[in-house]
Structure formats: C-alpha cells, structure tokens
Amino acid sequence: MADTSQAYPLERALQAAMHYDSTAVFYSVSRPRPGQAVAVRAEADAPHSRAFTTLFVDPGCGTVLQTQPFAAHNRGDQVRSWFYALFGGWPVRLIWFVASLLGGTFPITGFLIWWHKRRKSKRPRKMASVSTASIS
C-alpha cells in the first residue's frame, strides 16, 4: 500500500501557492525533509524559463511562510539559471547526443581506415619494365 501521508501536505502546499501567485504558468513542488517547509517553485512572468519565485509553505496548515522572488536569489543562482536557459534544454541535449554518437564512431572509422591502408600496402606492386636501349 502506498504511503499517502505526504500527498495531502503537498497538495495543500500547491493549493496555497496557487492561491498566493495565480499568475504563474508552472508550479514545481518538492518533497520536504521532516520538519521543514515545502518549497514550491512558481514560474510567472519571468525573463527566461528558469527564473522562478520560490514559496516556502508550511505543510501542516498550508500557509505561505516566506517568498523568494528570482530577483532576490543570489548572483550565482541567477547566473546558473541564465546559463541553463541559454545553453540547456532539449536543443543542446540533442547536440550533445549527436556529438556523443560521433565520438563513439571515430575509433571505429579510424580502425577501418588503418586496416584498408594496411591491406593496400601488402599488395605486390607491378614493377615497371626497364628498357635497356635507353641506358646507353
């Protein structure tokens, strides 16, 4: 039987976050450690897809304890989220996937080129006929 004791506080935290910030288009709820508040990330009118407001919600009663807008995050977190927004996501993952496939094929193609060169150099070469008339 599944443990449903955590489902209700998470739903309560999500409802509180939706009530607090109804303009958000995306919500992300993380499961808290025992005795900690539920962190709900709300993505509203933001400069990029990784800029979010974090709401800390009491899992017991569902009240918003603290809000941390994206502008209040430290510079490191802001820069990291900008880098992910610019250089992350599915297009970059697709490029990395293709690059990893190419990286796996280079040893194979290198071996095949070496093998064909080796086979070509072992073939006997035809000797050019030397005419004795032109030596004199």
Task: List the chain pLDDT tens, one digit each, 136 residues.
Answer: 455 445 577 888 888 888 887 778 778 888 888 888 888 888 877 777 777 888 888 877 888 888 888 888 888 888 877 777 777 777 888 888 999 999 989 999 999 999 998 888 776 666 666 665 555 5
Phi, psi of 32 (to 5 degrees): -85, 160
In a domain, 69, yes or no: yes
Q: What is the CATH number of the domain that holds 23?
A: 3.10.450
**Domain annotation covers residue 51:** yes
Is there a domain that residue 20 lies in? Answer: yes
Domain count, the chain: 1
Judge whether 2 lies within some domain. no
Pairing of strands 64-68, 53-57: antiparallel
The domain in which residue 53 lies consists of 7-90
- pTM for this one? 0.53
Classify 89 in phi/psi space as left (phi over 0), alpha (psi -120 to 50) or beta. left
Q: Do the domain assignments include residue 12?
A: yes
In a domain, 113, yes or no: no
Whether 30 is in a domain gets the answer yes
Answer whether residue 135 is part of any domain. Answer: no
